[in-house]
Amino acid sequence: MARPTPLSGFPEWLPAGRVVEQHVLDTLRRTFELHGFAGIETRAVEPLDQLLRKGETSKEVYVLRRLQEEADSSEGAAGDRGGKGDKQLGLHFDLTVPFARYVLENAGHLAFPFKRHQIQKVWRGERPQDGRFREFVQADIDVVGAGELPYHFEVELPLVMAEALGELRSIGVPEVRILVNNRKVAEGFYRGLGLDDVEGVLRSIDKLDKIGPDKVGALLVAETGATPEQAAACLALAAISGSDASVAERVRALAAEHGVTSELLEEGLRELSALIDAAAVRAPGVVVADLKIARGLDYYTGSVYETVLVGHEQLGSICSGGRYDTLASDGANTYPGVGLSIGVSRLVSRLLSAGLVRSTRSVPSAVVVAVTSEETRPASDAVAVALRSRGIPVEVAPSAAKFGKQIKFADRRGIPFVWFPAGIGADGEVVAHQVKDIRSGEQVAADPATWAPSAEDLWPRVVPAGE
């Protein structure tokens, strides 16, 4: 067949890159579970009307259509095979909307507050660019309550995520900064100014990093009905940031300057201050209040978060989320929650493209068992079986080539050891099993029942690129 044309926006890592991705996923999963988050997985598709009900645009959702729709329409109408009678389905663009549906369907079987982690692929029809994909892996953590959810979870979630990302510093992941805001602060301030289109203002403010304050100011005037003075006040609020309680005082001073009084604003400032104070103790310098953080999706109602890699801010947020009070509701019962999501593919892409990390080898094997001849291959297979029975990853050489070629085969794959099975030497004497460290050249006698590589060599490791 002809050489295929790559599809942009659908990352496929080489084996060494996959080792890095798996290390990141394992580290995140382990940290989440240390904090009591149970793992779940949801289906890849949701009814399109549910995907679009909370602020997402239809152009970003991949819609499913059967290729044989016309031929199978009668069969589908009679059963549930996907004919015209079915709801239109789309691939999920995040894991929060499917999780809300999951909670509603399984509420009778869950213990609240319910803490979950979820690591799956999602699909989003946006323009591919550096760090932005159409298919990518997300890793989410959420806490959902029944009827109510205490505010302290809005403090806990970003600190758990900061810990998880901090665990990756040892492999060369840059320092992270979690930027936080509170929707109550923004809504209270905007309404106090006389602006009722709060969602419209938030969507405009959310574009600050992309288009700059001048264009955002023009958008506020053109699309939300703000006066130039009101737009300037919104931009002044968005310019406030800091890592201590002075942030709240600066917001209060700005509100007083514009005659804004709002209990909702005060409630949001109290919550934001509590978050900043707690983070300063548990993760000094990691969590910073930034009043321009808006998050474009409509379902957020309290704290909102975005996370950047220090020194790589141009990549944008690698982790985001917030508090949502009404996303999971069946009319009679409401399940408020708070969650954060890491764009794992975006993070791994940056680590690999910037040359920040590497894997010590691209295959799991720690040992290649050499083959003296095809007639003695069963003896080499027996050595491999003995080593694998003790948890040592092994492969047998693909051919009985000269030993020099078999050593080169191992070297090309980064496999550190070559095993030479016992046999009969040229002088007729029995030759014992031997294992060679092809990095140092050291070769020693070994027993398949007892020998093991060092812990560092047993499995591929992910290390900073300079190591």
How far is the C-alpha of 148 from the C-alpha of 150, rounded, in Å?
Answer: 7
CA distances from 195 to 186, 224, 231 (A): 11, 8, 10
How far is the C-alpha of 22 from the C-alpha of 17, rounded, in Å?
Answer: 9
- pLDDT given for residue 11 in this prediction: 92
How far is the C-alpha of 91 from the C-alpha of 458, rounded, in Å?
Answer: 39
Encoded tokens for 234: 């919104």
- pLDDT given for residue 77 in this prediction: 42
- pLDDT given for residue 76 in this prediction: 46
Amino acid of residue 447 = D
- pLDDT given for residue 59 in this prediction: 66
Q: Is 417 helix (H, G, I), strand (E, B) or coil?
A: strand
CA distances from 440 to 124, 432, 435, 450 (A): 48, 21, 12, 21
- pLDDT given for residue 80 in this prediction: 45
Segment-wise mean pLDDT, segments of 10 residues, the chain, 467 residues: 82 94 97 98 92 67 75 47 63 92 95 97 86 91 96 92 92 90 94 92 89 94 93 96 91 95 95 90 88 80 91 84 89 93 92 90 97 95 98 97 96 96 70 95 96 97 89
List all residues 6 or more positions away from 90 whose beta carbon is below 8 Å from its beta carbon.
Answer: 45, 46, 47, 48, 51, 61, 62, 63, 64
How far is the C-alpha of 393 from the C-alpha of 452, rounded, in Å?
Answer: 10
List all residues 6 or more positions away from 233 whose beta carbon is below 8 Å from its beta carbon.
Answer: 189, 193, 254, 258
- pLDDT given for residue 49 in this prediction: 85
List all residues 6 or more positions away from 277 whose beta carbon is below 8 Å from its beta carbon.
Answer: 245
- pLDDT given for residue 428 in this prediction: 55
How far is the C-alpha of 282 from the C-alpha of 173, rounded, in Å?
Answer: 20
